[in-house]
Structure 1
Amino acid sequence: MAKEDAKEANKDMSSQAVAPTRKLGLVGGIALIVGTMIGSGIFISPKGVLQSSRSVGLTMIVWLGCGIISLLSSLAYIELGTMIAMSGGEFSYINTGLGSLLAYLYCWSSVIILRPASMAVICLAFAEYVSVICFDDCGPPVSFVKCLAAAAIIFITVINCYSVEIAVRIQVIFTVAKIAALIIIIIGGFVYMGKGVLNDLPEGFKDSETSPSIIALAFYDGLWAYDGWNNLNFAVEELYNPFRNLPLAILIGIPLVTILYLLTNMSYLAVMSKVDLLNAATVGGMWANRVLKGAAIIIPISVAFSTFGAANGSCFTSSRLSYTAAREGHLPEVLAHLHVTKKTPIISLLLTGILSLCMIIPGDISSLIDFFSFTAWFFYGCAFLSLIVMRFTKKDMKRPFKVFILIPVIMLLISIYLVVAPIIEDPDIGLLYAFLITIGGLIFYFPFVYFKWYPPCMDEITTFFQLFFQVVPTKYESFKEEDHKK
């Protein structure tokens, strides 16, 4: 009897299905891209890039190359995002172009590894820079850093559960703050250069690394700082006029970030020698102590704002992947539910938050970055391949923006290089774990997605979550031409 009541309640709730509301405009879209790209990376990755490239000249080439890679990738994603105007990013594109198996493996690895790892890294960086403010040169206890990172994850998750509007406002405010912080660093560096202080900048390409595999690791670190270039594609269904605002936001946001990153790295290398930069506990902190002296606390505070805003953007987009995949039947149905009045994917947000908290426990930033980059670029490559395949298999699909076919081909080759090169040079056990966890999703794919087995207890579980969190199923509403006026 209880089972029949659960089915009836589930049916009643399903009849109230709601769609996400479009609350992201052009400014919000730019803030989401810039705000998630400029996070912890520009304050962490310079050490990794310099360590792998070994020279100032090659370091700058890597940072520029990462910007070009991000821009070319985003051009391909503009076509994908306007052709398949659904949230979920790579999941929606791979599912449409290459089929459900690869799409499921992407969804599985992203929900379990990529997105939680990304949010954990960002919040750990946030906690480290806040700790600089609170503790002396001896540094904070590891437990303090991890507890603070956990508190940030919980707070951000609660905000995103409560309101889309507040989450977007936070993103805009913190994006302005982080751009201001980078401008301070850039101006300070040019003041130093104006005084004739150049440190190792004149060395150019002296002692450059020549191994393609080691250089690939430098790109891993640099691309981590650029990660977020695709985040707006995860929230297309909440973007006003995506055919206009998606391309504009990407074409404004990514070149802006590339210029800021190049100038910021010039400033770092003018103020600090290579040895100083590699030995710095926090790159931004050492720079501030040398340039701002008594006002040095400005930079740690600004970096804390920067990383907090990036974590907020990561949380916002991660949940959109979960509920889009659940809506397509690749994850439990309840993850595709939105709150009745707030229209937020509460259960998906809670899942992302809980998994991010678990990632903090081992909490080594460097290993998490490599873990993230290897898996991410495999599936970015799948998205580029999907675009190439759909040019031949779905010729009649409407394409408001059509990129030159050579661009996704080049990006597919770059993706293969970034995945294969580190394995050839120095196979790491972490990369093996990433691979095993990814294919481990097959255990769930065949019974639940391919054969569509529905566990007997799922109706009761779904009904409990619906009633407890006041959520109902989501539905997809395609973009209408009259929405152009918004």
Structure 2
Amino acid sequence: MTKKETKYEEVAQDEQPGNEVPGPPADDGVRLQAKMSLLNGVTVIVGSIIGSGIFVSPTGVLVGTGSVNLALIVWVLSGLFSMVGAYCYAELGTMIRKTGADYAYIMITFGPFLAFIRLWVECLIVRPCSQAIVALTFAVYILKPLYPECNPPDESVRMLATCCICLLAFINCWDVKWSTFVQDFFTYAKLLALAIIIGTGFYQLATGHTEYFTFENSETDITKIALSFYSGLFAYNGWNYLNFIIEELKDPVRNLPLAIYISVTVVTFVYVFANVAFYTTLSPAEVLASEAVAVTFANKLYGAFAWTIPVFVAMSTFGAVNGILLTSSRLFYAGAMEGQMPEILTMIQVSRMTPTPAVLVIALLSLLYLTSSNIFALINYVGFATWLSIGLAVFCVPYLRWKQPTLDRPIRVSLIFPIIYILGTLFITIVPMIASPVETGVGVLIIFTGVPVYFLFIAWKNKPRAIAKTIDAVTVLLQKLLVVVRADDGKSKP
């Protein structure tokens, strides 16, 4: 990889929202070019969404719904809800073509404070917590065949998850080509695993295995049903990732909404029919008792070949952990361009040409979340923070219609869609506070930790010279330890 190719970061745009993005500067290494086709956009979204969620979340959704049919309804509604949110993002993405997606939308609409809180939530909670969840899922599926009659030891699961994160952090720090190869290879593995599961499910349906598809024992407590959406929506998380690289997409006015429609439709089909496949064979009690639904499913149907499904699923989740590490540096860069992230996180390693500081920070935060092995508690943490933040971004649509009606809007959605999404967001963020006050309380506290950080490090401009010198000294020290430089100009601090 050449030095020019490592400049993956986009330059902050000076143009007003809605204006056409100007052509690339003479040095085309500074800015990513619009080379992504519609098919590329679809694969980005599908690859980002399908990770561990479909293999973890069936249990969490069923806990909150009580019956198979109601669980399937939650899966369908979660897909439709994600589609509505993605449709609103299509207007925002073609109107505000800046790096950072919802972070940029909130920055332009509501200013730096709420934008920083969004950035803080994403970097401190969503990315590392999601990575911890996926790594734990990887560990459970690797170990489950060794413990067919019981759950794997908690310490073993967390230790293996730690090894997974550390290994992939090393790969991402060592060579970008290695990390992209891992991503491509393991994406095929998860699609193959789901194709096998869905194909088996169709066979089971054809042979009359429908006894578990009832509304029997359906949950009537609205707070528990709301919590089930956390698990369902967690599985769909990632539909907004194409907006993070909007400047690289050819003809975004046409291709962004098309990529969204195609991708979310495909993923909804895959998720619903994967769940249908599980319930053709497993009873609700068996799903609730299993930490690895796909393994239990395979053990009952595939006989001597049952080991193939946990291997495929483990490969899928391994690739998903890699994907989080691979994409997180963009968000760090977007925040640093606005002066809201430490400069060290925008730098690259001079010999390996990798975003080493950003990778290490995400990995270390993920290891902190591994102190808890309760996957569903972690999903509640990340769910509350994610959907509250995305709901605020969707609120930008009606707010900007009111405050800045003259902005150029190549795509103009009906206001009914953001209203539906905002009301749904209120439902899935406020109601669970009653049903799960501890998890949502922890999520709120983590969000509020960003407030003093903002006022101390961002809003306070006239810091004493001693503090400024200390920050510079720490930055230079980390540069020397990691051997990194700023990617925009290739020059380190003196």
Q: Is the 8 A contact 1:31 1:171 kept in 2?
A: no
Using the TM superposition, name which of 402-411 and 100-109 deviates more. 402-411
Q: How far 1:309 moved relative to its partner?
A: 2.0
Task: Give deviations 1:243-300, integer Å, cap 9, x for gaps.
Answer: 5543343222211110011111111111111112111231101110111111111110
1:464 and 2:473 are equivalent in the alignment = no
Q: Is the 8 A contact 2:432 2:440 kept in 1?
A: no
Match of 1:374 in 2: 384
Whole-angstrom CA distance in 2 between matches of 1:340 and 1:23: 26
Task: Give deviations 1:115-148, integer Å, cap 9, x for gaps.
Answer: 1100000011011111124555455432322222
Change (3 A) 1:165 1:403: farther
Whole-angstrom CA distance in 2 between matches of 1:235 and 1:190: 37
195, 203, 209: which one aligns with 1:183: 195
Whole-angstrom CA distance in 1 between matches of 2:187 and 2:399: 36
Q: Which amino acid aligns with 1:175?
A: T
Whole-angstrom CA distance in 1 between matches of 2:479 and 2:461: 22
Change (3 A) 1:396 1:172: farther
1:258 and 2:271 are equivalent in the alignment = no
404, 421, 432: which one aligns with 1:422: 432
Pairs within 5 Å for 1:18-417: 19=30, 21-22=32-33, 25-26=36-37, 27-134=39-146, 137-201=149-213, 203=214, 205-237=215-247, 239=249, 242-339=252-349, 344-417=354-427
Q: Which amino acid aligns with 2:201?
A: G
Secondary structure class of the residue paired with 1:196: coil
Change (3 A) 1:348 1:35: same
Match of 2:3 in 1: none
Task: Give deviations 1:208-260, integer Å, cap 9, x for gaps.
Answer: 22232221111111111111111222333555655554334322221111001
426, 447, 451: which one aligns with 2:456: 447
Change (3 A) 1:135 1:200: closer
Task: Answer 1 or 2: higher relative contact order, Cα 8 Å, separation at least 6.
Answer: 1
Q: Which runs of 5+ in 1 are unaligned?
A: 1-15, 476-486
Q: Which amino acid aligns with 2:288?
A: L
Secondary structure class of the residue paired with 1:457: helix
Q: Percent identity?
A: 37
Task: Give deviations 1:434-466, integer Å, cap 9, x for gaps.
Answer: 112211211121132122245321222223334
Q: How far 1:85 moved relative to its partner?
A: 2.1
Q: Which amino acid aligns with 2:293?
A: V
Q: Which amino acid aligns with 2:459?
A: Y
Whole-angstrom CA distance in 2 between matches of 1:162 and 1:77: 34
Q: How far 1:20 moved relative to its partner?
A: 5.5
Whole-angstrom CA distance in 1 between matches of 2:403 and 2:350: 39
Change (3 A) 1:412 1:474: farther
Secondary structure class of the residue paired with 1:86: coil
Change (3 A) 1:284 1:66: same
Secondary structure class of the residue paired with 2:324: helix
Whole-angstrom CA distance in 1 between matches of 2:153 and 2:35: 40
Q: Which amino acid aligns with 2:130?
A: S
Match of 2:24 in 1: none
Q: Which runs of 5+ in 2 are unaligned?
A: 1-26, 490-494
Q: Which amino acid aligns with 1:101?
A: F
Task: State the Cα RMSD in Å.
Answer: 2.5
Whole-angstrom CA distance in 2 between matches of 1:70 and 1:39: 16
Q: Which amino acid aligns with 2:346?
A: A
Q: How far 1:373 moved relative to its partner?
A: 0.7
TM-score by length of 2: 0.86
Aligned residues, how many? 457
Task: Give deviations 1:350-391, integer Å, cap 9, x for gaps.
Answer: 111110111112221111001111111111111011222122
Whole-angstrom CA distance in 2 between matches of 1:343 and 1:79: 35
Change (3 A) 1:345 1:474: farther
Q: Is the 8 A contact 2:56 2:291 kept in 1?
A: no
435, 447, 451: which one aligns with 1:438: 447
Task: Give deviations 1:295-335, integer Å, cap 9, x for gaps.
Answer: 11111011112112222222223222122112211121222
